[in-house]
Structure 1
Amino acid sequence: MHAFAQLLDSLIYTRSRNAKLKLIGDYLRATPDPDRGWAMAALTGDLDLKAVKPAVIRALIEERVDPVLFRMSRDYVGDTAETIALLWPGADDGAGEPLSVSNVVDTLNSLSRSDAPAALAAMLDRMDAEERFALLKMATGALRIGVSARLAKTALANAFGVEVDAVEEVWHAIRPPYAELFDWVEGRGEQPTAADVPVFRPFMLAHPLEELRVDLKDYAAEWKWDGIRVQLVHVGGETRLYSRAGDDITGSFPDVASAFATPGVLDGELMVKGEFQGGEAASFNALQQRLGRKVVSGKMLADYPAFVRLYDILFDGAEDLRPLTWTERRKRLEAFARHLDPDRFDVSALIDAADFDALEEVRAGARDAAIEGVMLKRRDSDYVAGRRTGLWYKWKRDPLTADCVMMYAQRGSGRRSSYYSDYTFGCWTEDGELLPVGKAYSGITDDELKMLDSFVRNHTLNRFGPVREVEKTLVLEVAFDSIHESKRHKSGVAMRFPRIHRIRTDKPAAEADRLDTLKRMIT
């Protein structure tokens, strides 16, 4: 456990990508099975210790430390695991045989939820603060150490001289602690395969277009729809529906999964049909009614029928089409889709534009609630995992903006835990009341963060736990992708991807936007 704790500590304070790759690679080469496999599961988000939940951990520390002191310390530190690791009394600190990663995982996985708290507490008693931090990070599944699943897999591939795409290809077909994978990379076994298993394959992703202009002779243009990217897999008589992160969301969308029974792998955008759109795609706000639900009622299925707008095809039956060009895959996709249920699947239409200038005009006029922008795909590109420069570009539509008044602020997490960096803002009603319309924590520079933090501290009116109410005098220009009606908010609206665009110190709060202005932006 000590070696894994040291790895996490080093990763937290390392910004260089190459340095992180080396740290993880050195750990994997030096650490025996199954410890390194469980460590990889933790780094990639595949470790699930079902018997340990955040509420259990909070209850344990509040039995040992004054609850008010813990909450105040958590508010200041900004990370629950770090706070508990430092505050834990550690009565038997360092006593007994050192615990390994596999000791911890095996013990916690073998216990019921009623027995796990005592076992977890006994482990924490035997550890130093660094090891406690690592254990709590593993238990909660929220490492937040600046390491993505892709980077961890790249580190493994680099450490053992294999291709990261080969690791990605079989990752979801192997369960932690990945014994078959390590046998292969160290030459003791055959390369694992995903044959007859409905596994997830990494998505091909796009770079932002920014200021680049491309020739439409080389690139095809299609709409970027505002749903969630999904992968449909039907292999060996089984269907799986995966999110962009590789999470299995089949249970949340049984209507889509049951309609896909043709062997193959498709890439598309999952959306729901709108009641008032004549069966066309509704806004993301409508899709949110179904996201994350483990049980979907018949009423929910009827009110928010899901469908997939198809972008690409990876496999046609057992035939791997990824090495083909986009043009060839598009033809195969159109032929494949003809045999699918048209109520559940359609092919994303291409945009007919003579040149880039014409495409720019088409994009500028698109304010459909379900359109997020334009995708540009190189016609001769094969389907490759991750972002490859020059192949696919995303060109989001220009954001909407509104001048809003800061109302509340809360401290952030991680490196922002010392700053008030999460801001709730509002707009005026016709009666002069200020109602919250959104919350944002991104879009600002470090200097702007310090300026806003200073404003919050110097203009606080009230405190509600970790939240501060501030004087309603500072205007923030907020950018957002779209806005929708919402019954959950008093204002009646909900913003999609709000972020701080500018700090309007030049504008009086009384001149901020009215709520009616935002409602007129609803599409």
Structure 2
Amino acid sequence: MWFAEVVAGSGAVAGTRSRKAKVEALAGLLRALEADEIEPAVAWLAGEPRQGRLGTGWRTLLALRVAPSTTPKLEVTEVDAALDRLATTTGQGSARRRAELLTGLWSAATQDEQHFLLRLLTGELRQGALEGVLTEAVAAAAGTPPDLTRRALMLSGSLPVTARAALTLGSRALEAFRLEVGRGLRPMLASPAESLDTALAELGGAANTTVEYKLDGARIQVHRDGDDIRVFTRSLRDITAKVPELVQLAKELNCRSVVLDGESLALTDDGRPRPFQESMSNASSGLLRPKFFDCLHLDGTDLLDAPLRERLDALQKCAGEHRMPGLVSPTGEDAAALLDRAIGEGHEGVMVKALDAPYAAGRRGRSWQKVKPVHTLDLVVLAVEWGYGRRTGKLSNIHLGARDPDGGSPVMVGKTFKGMTDQLLEWQTREFKEHALSDDGHVVTLPPEFVVEIELDGVQASTRYPGGVALRFARVQRYRPDKTPAEADTIDAVRALLP
């Protein structure tokens, strides 16, 4: 397939708001791919090269200034091979060789192809919101059941790999995917709850739930197969080499093989949580203290489809001393007391989970609900304004967008400059200048890759922003380097907060 056909397909998807039209356009494109074209093309359509980050920034690519080809010359496999060479070019003289590789690729690309490559290699396409639509398109193109396709994605951790299996071998290949100890799988996600009482009621009453601390930590997934240990982040990045204390802890667990889901928290000397950023950055400091809240595999038995009640029994058996503080089948009064205690100890709140629910990896369902004393949303930074007064010379007021669940660009819902410390302003100015797409002297536009947690008092209907809703009294809590734009809250979640 010509690379130009993938670029045109991506443009057609971006040009419609209809989820059905997006799925149909993508499915038609996927059906036309040869087997060795599936993984690179699906990765590009999802917004990221198959090779991952390639270390090419905006300044490098904009400096190329290579005249585009007037006709399509590139095939999908040629572009993928060029990116392979780019990814493996390191060492002395690599800067020159990488520039030569990029110049050769750019000179063979049409203007539309150059623009697509620029956005692909700098992360502007990596919104992730298209993944759900693309997964539906894979199922439609392959004729495989959507639920089976989603489950295979959950277990493989890779949409390109799942797509190739579905499109070449069909349902039989998807059914063969299993939880594999040592290979990260998509983590189950929680939905926000209005209150503790509403969460307990929705999940069938306190007796049918477990209520646990919600820590302000970094999500981790720990795999052990004998002496082989792997630790993954929520985005499935392998951080094993950076967390020797977690590796040692896993080796001491009472089991032969296990997959645990939990959070790792950095603690002060008196046992209180350090800021989230320290949990993310102190990977090799010895400060990390894990708390596990789920067990997905134990000694040869997969537990994904088992009810949470059974998974907690397995967790207690192999890692009881490292279990997340909480109560199983509490009374309403005890659940409320646990929430008060969690907040009093400096944590975010509590999680309320249905004891009869399986582990729905990669899904944000209602069987896990998070209860916090204030509203927070994870939103995407779209742009930032230069400050004035004491903030002159600093990038200050950020423009905030919610994820479009149908794969479109993030939908703007407000701005804020509140809650920013001097340290955060320094970081924000330095980081955003490096990633700026444009700067008109007032507003700096950014690729949609920075996720920020915003605390707010609520939302209100508004004609000012395209989503018809605006944030009230929004303030910055923290940036979320552990989250991708695909994990940001949707515009539907924002609208759900309307009175």
Fold conserved (TM > 0.5)? yes
What is aligned with 1:131?
113
Query: Aligned in 2, Cα 1:419/1:266: closer, same or farther, shift over 3 Å?
Result: closer
State the alpha-carbon separation in 2 of the partners of residues 446 and 382 from structure 1.
Answer: 37
Alpha-carbon offset, residue 315 of structure 1: 0.6
Does structure 2 conserve the Cα–Cα contact (< 8 Å) formed by 1:363 and 1:374? yes
Alpha-carbon offset, residue 122 of structure 1: 2.9
Q: TM-score, normalised by structure 1?
A: 0.65
Alpha-carbon offset, residue 314 of structure 1: 0.7
Q: Pairwise mapping of residues 275-294 of structure 1 onto structure 2 (< 5 A)?
A: 275-277=269-271, 281-290=273-282
2:21 pairs, out of 19, 22, 29, with: 19
State the alpha-carbon separation in 2 of the partners of residues 145 and 336 from structure 1.
Answer: 38
Q: Could you say what the CA RMSD is over the residues aligned between the two structures, in angstroms?
A: 4.2
Asked if residue 244 in structure 1 is aligned to residue 256 in structure 2, the reply is: no
Q: Pairwise mapping of residues 75-94 of structure 1 onto structure 2 (< 5 A)?
A: 89-90=67-68, 92-94=69-71
Asked if residue 269 in structure 1 is aligned to residue 263 in structure 2, the reply is: yes
Query: Aligned in 2, Cα 1:18/1:118: closer, same or farther, shift over 3 Å?
Result: same
Output the amino acid matched with 1:225: L
Q: Which has the higher contact order (CA 8 A, sep 6+)?
A: 2
Query: Aligned in 2, Cα 1:245/1:436: closer, same or farther, shift over 3 Å?
Result: closer
Does structure 2 conserve the Cα–Cα contact (< 8 Å) formed by 1:224 and 1:372? yes
From the CA coordinates, give the structure whose radius of gyration is larger. Answer: 1
Query: Aligned in 2, Cα 1:152/1:234: closer, same or farther, shift over 3 Å?
Result: farther
- Partner SS for 1:335: helix
State the alpha-carbon separation in 1 of the partners of residues 477 and 31 from structure 2.
Answer: 45
State the alpha-carbon separation in 2 of the partners of residues 420 and 397 from structure 1.
Answer: 22
Residue segments in structure 1 that go unaligned for 5+ positions in a row: 65-87, 428-433, 452-475, 484-496, 502-523
Output the amino acid matched with 1:99: L
What is aligned with 1:207?
191
The size of the alignment, in residue pairs, is 405
- Partner SS for 2:35: coil
Alpha-carbon offset, residue 133 of structure 1: 2.1
State the alpha-carbon separation in 2 of the partners of residues 412 and 264 from structure 1.
Answer: 43
What is aligned with 1:105?
80
State the alpha-carbon separation in 1 of the partners of residues 151 and 465 from structure 2.
Answer: 44
- For residues 182-208 of structure 1, the C-alpha deviation after alignment (integer angstroms, 9 at most, x for no partner) is 432287x68554576511122222222
What is aligned with 1:383?
359
Does structure 1 conserve the Cα–Cα contact (< 8 Å) formed by 2:217 and 2:264? yes
State the alpha-carbon separation in 1 of the partners of residues 240 and 46 from structure 2.
Answer: 21
Does structure 2 conserve the Cα–Cα contact (< 8 Å) formed by 1:229 and 1:269? yes
Output the amino acid matched with 2:8: Q
Alpha-carbon offset, residue 310 of structure 1: 0.9
Query: Aligned in 2, Cα 1:274/1:109: closer, same or farther, shift over 3 Å?
Result: same
State the alpha-carbon separation in 2 of the partners of residues 246 and 385 from structure 1.
Answer: 12
State the alpha-carbon separation in 1 of the partners of residues 21 and 301 from structure 2.
Answer: 39
Alpha-carbon offset, residue 313 of structure 1: 0.7
Residue segments in structure 2 that go unaligned for 5+ positions in a row: 377-388, 402-407, 429-451, 467-471, 480-488, 495-499
Output the amino acid matched with 2:417: T
Q: Pairwise mapping of residues 76-475 of structure 1 onto structure 2 (< 5 A)?
A: 89-90=67-68, 92-94=69-71, 98-111=73-86, 112=89, 113=94, 114-144=96-126, 147-160=129-142, 161-162=144-145, 163-172=148-157, 182-185=167-170, 192-194=176-178, 198-210=182-194, 212-213=198-199, 214=201, 215-235=205-225, 237-261=227-251, 262-277=256-271, 281-290=273-282, 296=284, 300-301=285-286, 304=287, 306-338=288-320, 345-350=322-327, 353-355=330-332, 359-360=335-336, 362-364=338-340, 366-368=342-344, 370-387=346-363, 389-398=365-374, 407=391, 409=396, 423-425=416-418, 447=462
Alpha-carbon offset, residue 239 of structure 1: 1.6
2:33 pairs, out of 31, 34, 37, with: 31
Query: Aligned in 2, Cα 1:121/1:416: closer, same or farther, shift over 3 Å?
Result: same
Output the amino acid matched with 2:104: A
- Partner SS for 2:259: strand
Does structure 2 conserve the Cα–Cα contact (< 8 Å) formed by 1:374 and 1:397? no
